[in-house]
Structure 1
């Protein structure tokens, strides 16, 4: 459920909320992990706290201008940070790209799936998107399983589309259409 005043989304287990500068240290710890880095498209490595701080400082302006929405994935009760989820907005086409990462110690607990469902609902119900899409490296099938669990379907594969760490990676595209509009 989206709370417009606080810009939060509440799910069964999670509070998906705007990042705060006080989250920067934990973001840096999570993102300064090679296993998180290798599965993301644009995350730098190493990831110093200054990168986390400058990233968080862009969120308010992006949210206010409807360019993108970045949220912290946190525990609903303890407020422990688990990861991040973001949604871009392409107004010309009324769609957006979903992206997420979870701190390695929280992998396999369903947090990415639960947060993704909530943010897709936010995109369709609150922002009136027509479509949400996401991409993942073929070498990271767990991300593809998240996309399938939230109702996305595979739309295509860009063969050897990304050059990362000295090799080419296939990028697999998934998407979902807002059938409620």
Structure 2
């Protein structure tokens, strides 16, 4: 998971998790960002998380998600992305939702394709992750 995320620290401590969780409710109430757990519908077991940022200036938002390695390939990210895009368009009235992924993580791009997002471009060697530079591939979807 760490290798495919831009901002996630490593090692990831309990303090990192608590700091991340601490601001969810305030950000939700302030209309800044919306963070949701991705869980099993019956047991509540945690599979991952998905977030939607709010860019009020441009009336759009970015989605970002992660799934625990042992749960990859089960459609959880796709289902969560469908739900959060619906939330963005129907509840928040966004004009556009976008997402980006490291080109070295094509499975994340497949999630974006499955939910109807279209490739908008690639930023080459755009971020440094440890000792290498990563290309960021951008996808977006317009609220039609």
Asked if Structure 1 and Structure 2 have the same fold, meaning a TM-score greater than 0.5 normalized by the shorter chain, the answer is yes
Taking the TM superposition and a 5 Å limit, the aligned residue runs for 1:46-125 are 46-125=11-90
1:163 & 1:72 partners in 2: Cα distance? 28
Determine the structure 2 residue equivalent to 1:11.
Answer: none
Equivalent residues, number: 144
Structure 1 alignment gaps of length 5 or more: 1-35
Match of 1:134 among 76, 96, 99: 99
Moved over 2 A (4+): none
- Return the TM-score normalized by structure 1: 0.79
Determine the structure 2 residue equivalent to 1:163.
Answer: 128
Determine the structure 2 residue equivalent to 1:32.
Answer: none
Following TM superposition, by how much is the alpha carbon of 1:165 offset from its aligned partner in structure 2, in angstroms?
1.5
1:83 & 1:56 partners in 2: Cα distance? 13
Following TM superposition, by how much is the alpha carbon of 1:54 offset from its aligned partner in structure 2, in angstroms?
1.0
Partner SS state of residue 23, structure 2: helix
Structure 2 alignment gaps of length 5 or more: none
- Return the TM-score normalized by structure 2: 0.99
